Structure 1
Amino acid sequence: MSRELLARETKEREILHKHPVPGKILSEFVIPAKEYASLTMKQGQTLRFVDMEGKQVPDVVCFNAHDLSEELNMGNTLLINKRRELVKGNVLYSVIANPMMTITGYSNELSYSYGPMCSEEVNRIRYGMACTRNCRDNFAMALSGWGFTARTIPNAFVPFMHVAVDAQGNMEIREPTSKPGDYYDLRAEMDLVVGISNCPQERNPCNGWKPTPMGVIVYEA
């Protein structure tokens, strides 16, 4: 291994573990910029996102591992929590109102939970561009092994995303405030299939105009 590669891997590990994990690490990896991943979780395990370079957001969706028709539902999540901005202790609910994941901790509390993800169609309308990388297609590729397509992906929960809402209700996407090493933890409340899109959006401030890698750790207390 070259000295340069060793130094890069050492720095990556330092950022990934800037905030110690309160439990046993089961798996860890880094999703490259604009890419995606999928994984399974057992009830009680925790999914940690780690922003490797700062100002990057991960979109996450989940499904009941024993009944894939039971999917994350952000409408139910906001209604039951009675909040638009979710915080530690709030729960992500399914389409039939079962608890799926609980927000158990973070070093940056910003998140987005009340709108759709970027897609080929939405990017075409907003930016007049075709064939763009987007979260909906990322999810379709990440979850194809479970039979999902771009049209069967629910709306996502997005840690670190910064959306401001003014007094008139207008929304504005702003640059995230997350820094290298910032984390966001979600505990599984049932056995889950999880899809992750390391958001590839580069035409607005969502990822600081430049998509970068995202760290992922799965651990159990």
Structure 2
Amino acid sequence: MHMELSHDTAAIVIPAGQGSAFRVRRGDRFRLIDVEGGQVGDLFAFAAADPDEYLSASHTRTSTGRLFPRIGEQFVTNRRRPILTLTADTSPGAHDMLIAACDPARYDALGAPGHASCAGNLRLALSDLAVTTCVVPQPVNVFMDIPVDTDGNLSWLPAPSRPGDAVTFEAVTDCVIVVSACPMDLNPINGERPTSLAVELVEPTT
């Protein structure tokens, strides 16, 4: 699903299990909203000038020294250049940059061949903008709660976000954004019932 965001447009809903792509210019701010609560959003960002440059979770962790940036800190690309800034967060603050996007192979392994996936949503959404990519980058899993214990074990917990909780990003450069309302319903991350997300542009370009 392709979206055209403008300041005259109300928030655009991304249905449960689907994805959307849109373009933002340097200085634009957009808000990702959990409409009903408890829904993970896989967010990807690509440099508009060259989609081979994209938001990299591993490079961002190296840059910030954290598993997820603080408010005011930046996400960087695989070329170590800033692409987005985290500017606001009204949620409980649980987000993830460790878990790969769900894909057909994951659902095959879970006994659900043909299941919708965030990797599939990414490629479909980019095709609406005539953008292609050879990779599925590690997404920014907004609202996803994957705590790491002292032994390095991961837990898959339901997203703690509440209805209307939102995370706001500012584009540091012109970029293409893809958001997938994660379709995972075979583990607890979406409360086993995926729901919709919304996106809105929240501040005029300066």
TM-score by length of 1: 0.84
Q: Is 1:69 paired with 2:52? A: yes
- The letter for the 1-side match of 2:106 is V
Aligned counterparts, 1:114-133, within 5 A:
114-125=98-109, 127-133=110-116
Give the CA deviation at 1:26.
5.0
Out of 167, 174, 177, the residue aligned to residue 157 of structure 2 is 174
Q: Deviations over 1:141-199 (max 9, x none)?
A: 000133425x5221110111111111110101100111111111111000011111111
- The letter for the 1-side match of 2:96 is Y
More strand by share: 1
CA RMSD of aligned residues (A): 1.5
Is the radius of gyration larger for structure 1 or structure 2? 1
Question: The residue matched to 1:206 in structure 2 has which SS?
Answer: helix
Partner of 1:45: 28
Question: The residue matched to 2:156 in structure 1 has which SS?
Answer: strand
Q: Distance in 2 between matches of 1:90 and 1:84?
A: 12
Q: Deviations over 1:73-105 (max 9, x none)?
A: 111000110001332122111110010001101
Question: The residue matched to 1:143 in structure 2 has which SS?
Answer: helix
Query: 8 Å contact 1:86–1:111 — kept in the other structure?
Result: no
Partner of 2:137: 154
- The letter for the 1-side match of 2:107 is N
Q: Distance in 1 between matches of 2:37 and 2:17?
A: 14
Query: 8 Å contact 1:57–1:206 — kept in the other structure?
Result: yes
Query: 8 Å contact 1:38–1:196 — kept in the other structure?
Result: yes
Query: 8 Å contact 1:26–1:219 — kept in the other structure?
Result: no
Partner of 1:58: 41
Q: For the structure 1 residues 131 and 102, does the alpha-carbon distance in structure 2 shift closer, same or farther, using more than 3 Å as the test?
A: same
Q: Distance in 2 between matches of 1:117 and 1:161?
A: 12
Question: The residue matched to 1:140 in structure 2 has which SS?
Answer: helix
Q: Distance in 2 between matches of 1:67 and 1:155?
A: 18
Q: Distance in 1 between matches of 2:114 and 2:36?
A: 26
Partner of 1:16: none
Partner of 2:3: none
Query: 8 Å contact 1:42–1:190 — kept in the other structure?
Result: yes
Q: Unaligned stretches of 5+ in structure 1?
A: 1-23
How many matched pairs? 196
Give me the identity figure in percent: 29
Q: Distance in 2 between matches of 1:52 and 1:189?
A: 26
Partner of 1:79: 62
